[in-house]
Amino acid sequence: MSKDRQKIARVVAAIDPADALEAEHQGAVLDWINSGADLYRLVAPDQPPMHLVSYFVPFDATTGSMLLTAHRKSGLALPPGGHCEAGELPWQTVQRECVEELGIPAAELTWLGTEPLFVTVTETQGTVVRQHTDVSLWHVIDVACTDQRVRLDPGEFDGDRWLSFDELLAEPVDCFDPHMQRFARKLRSRCGSTHLLG
């Protein structure tokens, strides 16, 4: 097993699952990594049909709110993110995509660092012509909702909005990535355990 593959496996294995579904996805991802299958998308949109993605959720701990984007291709409210390029580790993808999609450098949360908080395996939705499976590692980055430097990539997004945990959880599940609300619950729980939220 290559060093990069070993590093990615360690990153996934270090995630503490929030529920049985995340534990199931984590196990499936580790089996996939250990199988020797290609991890990176080589030809857009679906070759190989299962590949790595890094989400990064801009989070303002002061207000307890997350930034979601109006994603053009899927028609959903999603965190920013993108496919990992060949040879990239997941946090390197976050660093590259954050500049490309938001116009700012990725800043890690002190209590989480560069490690992902959440892992999911998801069939693509929306207007994607050829469906495929995204293995998504969900990172959280530190962004103030008042940060005027944020500039969305107009080729990717039609807009954005900051949502509190309660606002996000009150909306229909089908507005988001199907795991978005589960992620929000996990993040809220972890914030509560680190006394970041009132």
Per-residue pLDDT reduced to its tens digit, 119-142? 999 987 655 556 789 999 999 999
The DSSP secondary-structure symbol of 26 reads H
Task: Look at residue 98 and tell me if it is in a domain.
Answer: yes
Q: CA-CA distance, 49 to 33, in Å (whole number)? A: 14
Q: CA-CA distance, 5 to 38, in Å (whole number)? A: 10
Which residue ranges of the chain lie beneath pLDDT 50? 195, 198
Q: Are strands 157-164 and 118-123 parallel, antiparallel or unpaired?
A: unpaired
Q: What pLDDT score was predicted for residue 74?
A: 84
The values of phi and psi at residue 135, to 5°, are -95, 105
pTM of this prediction? 0.92
Q: What pLDDT score was predicted for residue 92?
A: 98
Task: Look at residue 47 and tell me if it is in a domain.
Answer: yes
Task: Look at residue 197 and tell me if it is in a domain.
Answer: no
Q: What pLDDT score was predicted for residue 193?
A: 66
Q: What pLDDT score was predicted for residue 47?
A: 82
Q: What pLDDT score was predicted for residue 46?
A: 74
- Quote the domain boundaries for residue 10: 3-191
Task: Look at residue 169 and tell me if it is in a domain.
Answer: yes
Domain tally, the chain: 1
Write the CATH number for 59: 3.90.79.10
The DSSP secondary-structure symbol of 160 reads E
Q: Which of 91, 71, 66, 81 is closest to 143 using CA atoms?
A: 66
Match 């495929």 to its residue by tokens: 132
Task: Look at residue 150 and tell me if it is in a domain.
Answer: yes
**Whether the Cβ atoms of residue 70 and residue 53 lie closer than 8 Å to each other:** no
Task: Look at residue 163 and tell me if it is in a domain.
Answer: yes
Task: Look at residue 198 and tell me if it is in a domain.
Answer: no
CB-neighbour burial class of residue 87 (10 A; exposed 0-12, middle 13-18, buried 19+): exposed
Q: What pLDDT score was predicted for residue 73?
A: 82
Residue 108 CB coordination number (10 Å): 17
Task: Look at residue 144 and tell me if it is in a domain.
Answer: yes
Q: CA-CA distance, 155 to 166, in Å (whole number)? A: 30
Q: What pLDDT score was predicted for residue 153?
A: 92
Give the SS3 label for residue 122. Answer: strand
Match 């994603």 to its residue by tokens: 71
